[in-house]
Amino acid sequence: MSDLAITGLLVLSLFLILGSGVWIGLTLSGVAWIGMQLFSARPAGDAMAVTIWGSASSWTLTALPLFIWMGEILFRTRLSQDMFKGLAPWVQALPGRLLHTNVVGCTIFAAVSGSSAATCATIGKMTLPELTRRGYPEHMVVGTLAGASTLGLLIPPSIIMIVYGVAADVSISQLFIAGVLPGILLACLFSGYIMLWALRHPGQVPAADTRMSFMQKLSESKSLIPVVLLIAAVLGSIYTGIATATEAAAVGVVGSLILSAAQGSLNWDSFRGALMGATRLYCMIALILAGAAFLTLSMGYIGLPRHLAEWIASLGLGQAQLILALAVFYIILGCFLDGISMVVLTMGVLMPTVQAAGIDPVWFGIFVVLVVEMAQITPPVGFNLFVLQGMTGRQLPWIAKVALPMFLLMCAAVALIYLFPGIVTWLPQQMAAR
C-alpha cells in the first residue's frame, strides 16, 4: 500500500475508535497496534510491552506527577482569597481596574501550578463572583480569564513543557527558563488589551474603591508573601542550578504542604483529596504518553515520519512558511485533541523536519506551547472553555466568542517570538553562559 493509503487507514481508525468513546491513551495504542500488525514485520505485542514500560519508567517524567500534586495541594488552600486581597489595591489605578486581577492572578498562580485548567478553576473561583458582584461586564470578566488562564501552560513550571521535553528529548530546565519572558509578554498583551478596552468604554468600568496609601497597600499585600516565596524556591532552585526540574518539583510539593499547614487548610481530607486528584490526572496523562510512545515507534517501523519529512522538505518551505503551516496545523488539531495529546502525537513525526529546517528545539518548544494554549480556548475541545462553562453556566459558543480577542493576542505573541527569537532564547543563553 502507498503511504497515503496507510496514513488514511490509520487516521480513519483513530477517529473511529475515538468516536466510539474509548480513552485517548488506549486509542493511540490501538492504532499503533493496527499499524504495526498490518504493515510491519516486528511483533506488535512485544513492541507494545517494551515501549510502554520504557515510557512509564522515565526518570525525567517524575517531575510531572510532583508538579501536578503541588498544584492540587495549593488548589485546596486559601491562596485564591488571599491573592485577590493582595492584588486588588495595586491595580485600582490602571484603566480597567480589577479586571487586571484575572491576568496578574493567573500569572502568579501559573508559576506554582503548571496546569491551565487548574489555573482557570482556581482564579475563576476567586474573580468571577467578586468582579461580577462589583459590576464589571461579564463578557470581559470571562474573556480575560479564559485567555489569562492559559498562562498555566507557558509560565514555568509547566506540565506541557515537561511532556514536550520528554517527547522531543530537550532539556526541561532550558524550556522552563525559556518560557519566562514569553509568559510575561503574553500577560502584558492581555493587560494592554484590558487598558485599551477600558479607555474606549469608560462607562462600563465601575468606580475605584477607597484610595489607599502606599503603606496600606503593602499591608494588604502581605498575604502574597507565602506564594512568592514558594515561586522563588521552585524556580530559583532551577535557575541557579541547585536542582533539576524533578528535584525542584519535590521542593514545590514540600513547600506547598508547609504553606497549606501554615494556613490551617492541611488535614487528612484535603491531603487525600490532593493526592487522589493528582493521581487521577497523572494516570490519564501517563496513559496518553505511553500510547503515543507506542504510536511513534509504530510509525517509525512503517516509515511514515521519514516519508512525511521528505515530503515537507520537497515543498521547499522556508522557516517562516514552515512555522506558519505548523501553527495552522496545530490550531486545527487543537479543535479535536487536548494539548498533551497534540504534543506527544506529533513530536516523533515533526522533530526531524524542524531540526532539518535549522529551528532551535527550545524555541520550537515555546512555539508549540503557545499554539497549544490557543487550543485551550478553541471549541469544541477547549479545556478552559469547559471549565468556564461549568463555572458560569454559559453556553460554549458564547464563551469562545468572548475569548476570541485573547486568541488573537496569542497569534500576535507567536508572530513576536518569530520576529524577535531572543524573547525565547536570551534567558537560556545567559544561564548556559554562567
Q: Would the CA dihedral through 362, 367, 368, 370 be positive or negative?
A: positive
State pLDDT tens for residues 349-366.
788 888 888 889 999 999
Angle, in degrees to the nearest 10, between helices 116-133 and 138-148: 160
CA pair distance 58, 254, nearest whole angstrom: 22
Nearest in space to 428 (alpha carbons), one of 161, 62, 111, 70: 161
Cβ(123)–Cβ(106) under 8 Å? Answer: yes
* Mean pLDDT, residues 173-188: 92
Of residues 281 and 194, which shows the higher confidence score? 194
Closest by alpha carbon to 186, among 257, 110, 272?
110
Who has greater pLDDT, 269 or 396?
269
HSE (side-chain half, CA atoms, 13 Å) at 92: 16
CA distance linking residue 172 with residue 376, whole number of Å: 22
Give 263's DSSP letter: T
Return the residue matching grid coordinates 532539518: 356
Higher pLDDT, residue 330 or 182: 182
Rounded Cα distance, 13 and 17, in Å = 6
* Rounded Cα gap, residues 149 and 119, in angstroms: 5
Question: Are the CB atoms for 294 and 344 separated by under 8 Å?
Answer: no
Angle between helices 268-302 and 44-56 (to 10 degrees): 140
How do residues 388-402 score in pLDDT, each as one tens digit? 887 788 888 899 899
The answer for residues whose C-beta is within 8 angstroms of residue 147's C-beta and 6 or more apart is 190, 377, 403, 405, 406, 407, 409, 410
Cα–Cα dist 96/91, whole Å: 8
pLDDT in tens, 22-37: 777 788 788 888 888 8
Q: Range with the lowest mean pLDDT among 63-77, 122-136, 262-276?
A: 63-77
Residue, of 266 and 64, whose pLDDT is higher: 266
Contact 342, 375 (CB under 8 A): yes
For residue 253, which of 65, 59, 57 has the smallest C-alpha distance?
65
Residue 155 half-sphere exposure, CB side, CA atoms within 13 Å?
25
Q: What angle do CA 6, 10, 13 make, to 5 degrees?
A: 140
CB atoms within 10 A of CB 1: 10
pTM over 0.85: no
Q: What CA–CA distance (Å, rounded) separates 91 from 76?
A: 26
Instruction: Choose between 148 and 333: higher pLDDT.
Output: 148
Residue labelled with grid coordinates 486581577: 101
Terminal CA-CA length for the chain: 53
The CA radius of gyration of the chain, in Å to the nearest whole number, is: 22
Q: What is the pLDDT of residue 182?
A: 94
Dist. CA 124–CA 113, nearest whole Å: 14
Longest dimension (CA), the chain: 75
Q: Are 362 and 425 in contact (CB under 8 A)?
A: yes
Question: Is the pLDDT higher at 348 or at 412?
Answer: 412
Can you give the pLDDT at residue 313?
A: 64
Count of residues in the chain: 434
How large is the average pLDDT for residues 220-233? 78
